[in-house]
């Protein structure tokens, strides 16, 4: 990995070249804020994007907000070829749509989808209860993890699942979720 940070558009152009060469492997990206992104490419097809704790379309959207980063491509088999979990608009953006606008713009949502997610995050009271319980399980980093879990308008359930994913065991995650349900009534 180069120690030099470069504009994101340069890294996306490298990805575009890898896609056109039908490459297979992982493109590892590290932002100036020290956040990591992994893009899995199989036979010139982007099959998976993970950025911080986000995957696929949400990860591509977050990646589109990055100004500069450094990257390294690790060639090799990137896992079994399968169907990509990315939306068509995310794939198009990664394959060259970024040339028109480096910032990723997600596809327009339907009015029904917008209504479903609007206001679905936790209230301030709920959020404080969640953070208090998370503090017991995660320690002092709980506040930061709670902010990350709910910052993109995630629903209450999505945020809780994201928080629980930080716990060491499945049993601990289940206890955490049970404590949250009990606290929220």
pLDDT at position 110 is 38
Contacts 24+ apart (CB under 8 A), 178-181: 179/133, 179/136, 180/129, 180/130, 180/133
Domain-embedded: residue 105: no
Q: How far apart are CA 60 and CA 82, in angstroms?
A: 19
pLDDT at position 113 is 42
* Domain extent at residue 47: 6-99
pLDDT at position 84 is 63
pLDDT at position 170 is 86
Domain co-membership, 55 together with 140: no
Residues in the chain with pLDDT < 50?
109-119
**Number of structural domains found in the chain:** 2
Tokens of 60: 């591509």
Domain co-membership, 179 together with 140: yes
Domain-embedded: residue 109: no
């Amino acid at each position: 990995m180069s120690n030099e940070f470069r504009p994101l558009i340069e890294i996306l152009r490298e990805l575009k070249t890898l896609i056109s060469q039908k490459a297979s492997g992982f493109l590892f990206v590290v932002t100036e804020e020290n956040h990591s992104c992994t893009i899995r490419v199989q036979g010139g097809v982007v099959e998976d994007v993970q950025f911080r704790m986000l995957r696929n379309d949400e990860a591509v959207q977050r990646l589109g907000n990055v100004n500069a980063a450094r990257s390294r491509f690790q060639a090799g088999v990137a896992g079994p070829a399968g169907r990509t979990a990315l939306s068509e608009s995310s794939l198009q953006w990664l394959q060259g749509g970024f040339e028109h606008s480096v910032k990723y713009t997600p596809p327009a949502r339907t009015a029904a989808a917008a209504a479903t997610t609007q206001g679905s995050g936790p209230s301030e009271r709920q959020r404080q209860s969640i953070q208090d319980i998370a503090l017991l399980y995660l320690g002092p980093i709980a506040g930061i993890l709670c902010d990350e879990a709910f910052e993109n308008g995630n629903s209450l359930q999505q945020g809780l699942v994201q928080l629980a994913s930080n716990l060491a065991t499945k049993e601990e995650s289940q206890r955490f979720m049970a404590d949250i349900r009990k606290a929220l009534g």
